[in-house]
Amino acid sequence: MKRIVLAVALLLATPAAADEDIVSGLSQDTVQITSNYTGTDIVVFGAIENLEATGVNDVAVVVRGPPADMTVREKQWVAGIWINRDQAKLFAMPSYYYVASTRPVESIGPSFTLQSNAIGLANVVPAKFVSHHDPEPFRQALIRHKQSDGLYGEVPGGVEFITQALFRVRLPVPATVPKGQYKVDVYLFRDGALISAQSTPLYVNQAGLEKRLFDFAHDSPLRYGITAVLMAVALGWLGSMLFRRKE
């Protein structure tokens, strides 16, 4: 609590000689996926402190979903049909990745800084890669797929400045986002050097009936399967009864 008060105080006071820093927050820290969830936007907002310092300020906001192991397969033409042949396993890839920046990512900082902080889709790499083949085409295919699913995105110019110091980023959260703990990282670059970074957690949960059904299916699959069958039998029986009366 004290820390929040302090952060707000710092944000408002904009002290003249404070450490160069960045403050940020989220419009909501939890997303609940319910039955009528069709996607939403979360707003990441923040402020650059100590604006007196000269130089070009660049902000990059990176949102990462919980890591997941993914398998990418490549179809090949075998005996007249297209069949999955070569495959690669990419360990601990972000299940969701979205980066917004003031300018194109590659121009805001040196490539080794961008690589070590995994800023930009070009720098999203797996923790481990298992395949007999060249990894790059598989990694690119994965990024392409996730982009078309709306789960990966890179938006240069996606950081919108309201005043010289205050900025905001609109973060799309489509209905297909994986559940879990997300990390929202805000990076401040000045004249190409990474000055400050701040990390905020974001939680995406399934809520309500869907959550309970998902847990039911995974925690007690036998009872779930029997329930599905009983429901099918009951609906089929009910249907035939209803329509028999009408005839």
Binds other proteins (CB under 8 A): choice among 83, 127, 162, 193:
83
CA distance 84 to 82: 7
Q: How far is CA 117 from CA 112, 166, 197, in A?
A: 8, 23, 10
Q: Name the residue nearer to other proteins (CB basis): 73 or 170.
A: 73
Question: Tokens 């890179």 belong to which residue?
Answer: 154
**Per rule CB under 8 A, is residue 127 in the interface with other proteins?**
no
The whole-angstrom separation of Cα 123 and Cα 78 is: 34
Using the rule CB under 8 A, which residue among 2, 16, 52, 80 binds other proteins? 80
- Can residue 176 be called a binding residue for other proteins (CB under 8 A)? yes
With beta carbons less than 8 A apart as the criterion, state whether 12 and 32 touch. no
73 lies in the binding site for other proteins (CB under 8 A): yes
Among 33, 63, 99, 171, binds other proteins (CB under 8 A): 33
d(Cα 121, Cα 135) in Å, to the nearest integer?
15
- The least CB distance from residue 170 to other proteins, in Å, is 20
Instruction: Let me know: does 183 contact 75? Beta carbons within 8 Å.
Output: no
> By CB under 8 A, is residue 136 in contact with other proteins?
no
- b/e for 40-79, b at 16 or more Cβ within 10 A? bebebbbbbbbeeeeeebbbbbbbbbeeeebebeeeeeee
CA distances, 240 to each of 159, 233, 244, 246 (Å): 58, 11, 6, 10
Site for other proteins in 53-72 (CB under 8 A): 68-72
Contact mark string toward other proteins, 185..224, x via CB under 8 A: ---------------------x--xxx-xx--xx--xx-x
- Tell me if 152 contacts other proteins by CB under 8 A: no
Of the candidates 5, 17, 47, 13, the residue with the CA atom closest to the CA atom of residue 198: 47
# chain residues binding other proteins, by CB under 8 A: 59
Binds other proteins by CB under 8 A, chosen from 5, 77, 112, 163: 77
Binding site for other proteins (CB under 8 A): 33-38, 68-77, 80-84, 87, 95, 137-138, 141-142, 144-146, 175-176, 178, 206, 209-211, 213-214, 217-218, 221-222, 224-229, 231-233, 235-240, 243
